[in-house]
């Protein structure tokens, strides 16, 4: 899952990037509304976390411009403006959720999981397909009821495939969800992760769609 964090407070942004990446998210960061709109116009993320107090334009204006381009892109507002009127204005402008600063990281993660479920084909934090089960809250993965040790990238890859069971995800889509802009990607990295997952979860769980990408069948 790729997140675009739009936040001009660098210490906060750095902390959020670190925490979110530990939870299996690919996080890219920009500091201005203009940069956010540029990214949305070229390569939209899966979810945007948008601060309202940006240096170049008001966050609500950014949100309105996002909605002009992409009506359904999930946007979570992150702001110090915590009055009822501010929340109403944000939601009426098209935000999917609103979180006031200061906040607990556990609450932000819970709200992100809700947005993720809207994007995928599953509606709970526990996904079970065949003999494989994945818990998005604890990040635990089981195969035939045995806990499996997965690397962060393996978990992120498996989560994307299971959340979109029945859909073919292209190589470029999966790489965007696994890697942030500042991460170097080896040419065969995705194939290596797929190989490792097949060894741990069975050779037939992840299907290759030749020339297109990969998928997990919905049972």
173-196 per-position pLDDT tens digit: 898 888 888 777 777 899 999 999
Q: What is the pLDDT of residue 123?
A: 62
pLDDT reading at 82 higher than 80: no
pLDDT reading at 9 higher than 70: yes
The rounded percent of the chain whose pLDDT value lies above 70 is: 98
The CA distance from 65 to 71, in Å, is 10
Q: At 170, list the tokens.
A: 């292209």
Q: What is the pLDDT of residue 122?
A: 58
Name the strand (E) or helix (H) holding 40: helix 33-42
Is residue 216 within 8 Å of residue 205, measured between CB atoms? Answer: yes
Same fold, 2-119 and 126-216: no
Query: Which CATH architecture describes the domain 126-216?
Result: Orthogonal Bundle (1.10)
Please give the DSSP secondary-structure letter assigned to residue 131: T
- Please list, in sequence order, all residues whose beta carbon lies within 8 angstroms of the beta carbon of residue 87, skipping any fewer than 6 positions away: 98, 100
Name the strand (E) or helix (H) holding 63: helix 59-69
Q: At 116, list the tokens.
A: 């993720």
Taking the domains of the chain in order of start, what are their residue ranges? Answer: 2-119, 126-216
The rounded percent of the chain whose pLDDT value lies above 90 is: 64
Q: What is the pLDDT of residue 121?
A: 52
Residues present in the chain in total: 219
CA 169 to chain centre: 15
Q: Which residue has the higher pLDDT, 198 or 179?
A: 198
* Model confidence, pTM: 0.76
Whether the upstream peptide bond of residue 102 has omega within 30° of 0, thus cis, is yes
Dihedrals φ, ψ of 84, to 5°? -60, -40
Q: In what order do the strands lie in the sheet with 213-216?
A: 169-170, 213-216, 206-209
pLDDT by residue (tens digit) across 107-116? 999 999 888 8
pLDDT reading at 167 higher than 80: yes
Give the homologous superfamily in CATH for domain 2-119.
Response regulator (3.40.50.2300)
Residue for token pair 């403006």: 81
Of the pLDDT bands very low, low, confident and very high (cuts 50, 70, 90), residue 80 is: confident
């Amino acid at each position: 899952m790729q997140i675009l964090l739009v936040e001009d407070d660098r210490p906060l942004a750095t902390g959020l990037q670190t925490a979110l990446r530990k939870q299996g998210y690919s996080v890219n960061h920009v500091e201005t509304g203009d940069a956010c709109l540029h990214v949305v116009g070229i390569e939209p993320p899966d979810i945007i976390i948008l601060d309202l107090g940006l240096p170049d334009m008001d966050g609500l204006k950014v949100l309105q411009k996002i909605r002009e381009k992409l009506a359904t892109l999930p946007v979570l507002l992150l702001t110090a403006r915590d009055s009822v009127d501010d929340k109403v204005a944000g939601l009426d402008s098209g935000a999917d959720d609103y979180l006031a600063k200061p906040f607990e990281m556990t609450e932000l993660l819970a709200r992100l999981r809700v947005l993720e479920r809207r994007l995928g084909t599953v509606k709970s934090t526990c996904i079970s397909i065949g003999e494989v089960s994945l818990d998005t809250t604890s990040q635990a993965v089981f195969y035939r009821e045995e806990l499996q040790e997965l690397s962060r990238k393996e978990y992120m890859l498996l989560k994307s495939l299971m959340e979109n069971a029945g859909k073919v995800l292209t190589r470029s889509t999966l790489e965007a969800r696994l890697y942030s802009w500042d991460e170097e990607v080896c040419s065969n990295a995705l194939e290596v992760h797929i190989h490792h997952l097949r060894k741990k979860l069975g050779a037939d769980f992840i299907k290759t769609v030749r020339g297109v990408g990969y998928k997990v069948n919905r049972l």
